Amino acid sequence: MRVVLAEDLFLLRDGLVRLLEAYDFEIAAAVESGPELTRALAELTPDVAVVDVRLPPSHTDEGLQCALQARRDRPGLPVLVLSQHVEQLYARELLADGTGGVGYLLKDRVFDAEQFIDAVRRVAAGGTAMDPQVIQQLLSRRSAGSKPLGRLTARELEVLELMAQGRSNAAIAGQLVVTERAIAKHTSNIFAKLGLEVSDDDNRRVLAVLAYLDQGR
């Protein structure tokens, strides 16, 4: 699996390269600036891009904007964004087109090797990998003024948060120590209450829920 990595801090970039290579990823390019990232994504057609939000020369949202442009040029390009803080605008922009694998992790998550590698693989496979803190903020902000979300029970909100992280029904059942049948029922209730069409595609289901939660900001 070929990865384009963009991170301007040398030690973190080098550490990520070593970590990914240890898990049999091929590093197609490891760059430190927005222009380099743009060229790498256009020329190397990676299986997944792991991108820091803030890159030179602007040190604002350069990395994210490069990734978004690459997704416009190549719809469905899997992108896993790394950020120092939860910035909801970035999460919304990343999820806006609803296609392909997407992820948003806080950099602190990188220090857990297994979770990070699982997130890269999940995004590369077309799934989602959203940091729990990002999901909690999306849920809490939306719930304040959202009647549909207010219809969910405490358990359904818990299931929704785990769904939004990209968890399968089996994984959610294991986390909550209940049966998969119970989770399937909660999932059906969530979609019905939110007015979302039920789909057998877990990835599309998660993106639909996140897109709904993010409307009207």
**pLDDT at site 202:** 52
Average pLDDT, the chain: 83
| pLDDT, tens digit (0-9, with 9 covering 90-100), for 85-142 | 777 777 777 777 666 788 889 887 676 788 899 999 999 998 888 887 777 766 665 5
* Least-confidence region, from 12-26, 58-72, 196-210: 196-210
- Asked whether the beta carbons of 211 and 95 are under 8 A apart, the reply is yes
> How close are the terminal C-alpha atoms of the chain, in Å?
36
Could you confirm whether domain 1-139 is CATH 3.40.50.920? no
Judged against a pLDDT cut of 60, whether residue 201 lies above it is answered with: no
- Asked whether the beta carbons of 80 and 20 are under 8 A apart, the reply is no
**pLDDT at site 177:** 93
**Confidence (pTM):** 0.71
**pLDDT at site 211:** 55
- Portion of the chain with pLDDT greater than 90, in percent: 42
Longest CA–CA span in the chain (Å) reads: 51
Local structure of residue 59 (DSSP, 8 states): S
Judged against a pLDDT cut of 90, whether residue 151 lies above it is answered with: no
As given in the structure block, the two tokens for residue 199 are: 């789909």
The fold of the 146-212 domain, in CATH, is Arc Repressor Mutant, subunit A (1.10.10)
**At 198, is the pLDDT very low, low, confident or very high (cuts 50, 70, 90)?**
low
In the numeric block, the tokens 């009647």 are attached to 147
In the chain, at which residue ranges do the beta strands (DSSP E only) sit?
2-6, 26-31, 48-52, 79-83, 102-106, 128-130
- Asked whether the beta carbons of 17 and 39 are under 8 A apart, the reply is no
Q: Where are the domains of the chain?
A: 1-139, 146-212
Judged against a pLDDT cut of 90, whether residue 208 lies above it is answered with: no
CA–CA dist 33, 54 (Å, integer): 9
**pLDDT at site 48:** 97
Same fold, 1-139 and 146-212: no
| pLDDT, tens digit (0-9, with 9 covering 90-100), for 16-27 | 999 999 999 999
CA–CA dist 215, 55 (Å, integer): 28
| pLDDT, tens digit (0-9, with 9 covering 90-100), for 172-197 | 999 999 999 999 998 888 877 777 66
